Amino acid sequence: MNDRQEKIYKILNKQGNASVEQLKQEIFASEATIRRDLTQMEQEGLLIRTWGGAVSTGNVNNDPPLFVRSNANANAKNTIAKIAIGFLRDNVTVFLASGTTVARLAKNFHKCENLTVITNGLDTVGALSNHLSAKVIVPGGELYENYDLIGTLTESTIEQFNADLFFFSCSGITAEGFSSVDMIRLNIIKKMKKNSAKTILLADTSKVGKKYTYKGFGFEEIDYVVMEAKPNDMALRKALGKKLITTKVF
């Protein structure tokens, strides 16, 4: 997706729909260029073409593209990463599920030495690229949405490892537990969790109160939930109890 298409996506995401004429004026591109962009973006599932314009997909069970998730709630994700890095120690093995919050955490891994990191997230691999002392293991599999690896090959590789720590994120979180928009990614999370000594969920408060189609495992199977601040949802705070971490640990 180029910069022009990113602007189109943001406009549609904000107001729900837009005409070709509006997009042409706001993005300063020709009508032919806008129409080509809309056609390509529809093929990628980013919008729905209409007569004279386009509308947002408006499907709550679809994650936005990676560039949107990466830029959303950036300050909250940075705070979560700074808190969660306190769980890390030298000489440990870590599972990292794919996700933009997890990738931000991975950027701080240089603070520890001799880590073994197993991840299916290509954005996370990129975040670890300058950490020369870490051994990074990337399970093979099918490339999914251009930034993570999924499928039976990925899962069977994950099953061959045990980890001291497992970090993952979610699409939504309520007092009933966490949920995901994607069963495929949730399967990877479950595989990593099964072989991990300690499981840590990273969730910024924008995800509080949101419930999606695919239900994750319960809070009884999660050791800690790291958030940038205490959520206003009192039921969630009660359900998490001492598992909720919002300040630096250790």
The whole-model pTM stands at 0.76
CA angle 63, 68, 236 (to 5 degrees): 60
* pLDDT at residue 54, rounded to an integer: 87
Dihedral Cα 86, 91, 92, 95, nearest 10 deg? 90
* pLDDT at residue 18, rounded to an integer: 87
* pLDDT at residue 68, rounded to an integer: 56
Coil, strand or helix: which one is 62? coil
Q: Evaluate the CA torsion angle 42, 45, 47, 49 in order and state its sign.
A: positive
Token pair of 221 as six digits: 């199977």
Residues 6 or more apart whose Cβ sits within 8 Å of residue 120: 97, 98, 138, 139, 141, 148, 149, 150, 154, 158, 188
* pLDDT at residue 60, rounded to an integer: 42
Domains for the chain: give ranges and CATH numbers. Answer: 3-58 (1.10.10.10), 67-245 (3.40.50.1360)
Coil, strand or helix: which one is 231? coil
Per-residue pLDDT of the chain (250 residues; tens, 9 = 90+): 788 988 898 888 788 888 898 999 999 999 999 999 998 887 777 788 877 888 876 544 455 555 555 555 788 999 999 999 999 999 999 999 999 899 999 999 988 999 999 999 998 999 998 777 899 999 999 988 778 999 899 999 999 999 999 999 998 999 999 998 888 889 999 999 999 999 999 999 989 998 888 899 999 999 999 999 999 999 999 999 999 999 987 7
Which residue, among 23, 37, 102, 110, has the nearest Cα to 70 in the 3D structure? 102
Q: Determine the length of the chain.
A: 250
The CA distance from 170 to 23, in Å, is: 33
